[in-house]
Amino acid sequence: MKIIEKYKEKRPVISFEIFPPKQGVDINTIYRTVDGLADLKPDFISVTYGAGGTGSNTTVDIATRIKEDYGIDPLPHLTCITSSHEVVRKSLDMLLTNGIENVLALRGDYPPGYVPTEDRSYRYAIDLIREIKADKDYCIGAAAYPEGHIECASEGQDIGYLKEKVEAGADFLISQLFFSNDIFYRYREALVEKGITANLSAGIMPILSKKQIEKMIFMCGATLPSRVIRFLVKHENNPEALRKAGIAYAAEQVADLIENGVDGIHLYTMNQPEIAKEILSRVSNLTHKVC
């Protein structure tokens, strides 16, 4: 089923993100993760794509298993920054062969040591979106950045680029992580003002460690509210207490988002299904009431 149809049927659409195991790690570990997530009956599960196009076959294999063995719609990521047209077409053909009709089209990050060349096939996600839309009957998701992409000159410019992606064929949007719902609400209003009406799922990542959050802030430039900074400092030397505080904070974010009519909740699970279970159990009274 195309994910865009799910947004027409219910609010909020609930989804999770998982990533393939690192090279050399037993592939079956990811299916133990899916076992735990399947119990929560998500509307879809996204599967990340290796940096620079590595692991594309693994992404397709996992997505296919999710669809065939669990009966859950998968959303495989497809990145393009270091890929050729031939590699992208091969990946799309593999998905189509396996009956997968949803794809999250992303530029992707530059691999360590990668030097871009002028003759590369793709520069931006919009190039990939246009190609998919022209040749394949896919439902296409795209990334949205509530605080602007870290490489973009301004938030306004970033929203302009997002509008171009939607006009090029992106059917729905999933946001980058954020830790202040007010930022998300202002962003949602800004999209509407610019005429962007595609459904938008809010990306939520629970804070599990100080090291994790420092890495994510450096990678995406997310703002930390003072409340988050306080519990990071308070529990800096108590990992379990920090983990509990982070999960509680994420659950509060999700509950508030649902109360404010968010289109969807996309949990970055970090392959830990117990985290998703804990968060959703805290807001289950809300998720069951929303239709």
Q: What is the CATH number of domain 3-289?
A: 3.20.20.220
Write out pLDDT tens, residues 35-85. Answer: 999 999 999 999 998 544 445 689 999 999 999 999 999 999 999 988 888
Per-residue model confidence (pLDDT) at position 56: 65
**Catalytic, out of 17, 189, 259, 274:** 17
CA dihedral 229, 214, 270, 199 (to 10 degrees): 70
Confidence tier at 116 by pLDDT (50, 70, 90) = low
| pLDDT tens-digit map of 131-190 | 999 877 899 999 999 999 999 989 999 999 999 999 999 999 999 999 999 999 999 999
Q: Does the annotation count 17 as an active-site position? A: yes
Domain borders along the chain are: 3-289
pLDDT 10s digits, 245-279: 999 999 999 999 999 999 999 999 999 999 999 99
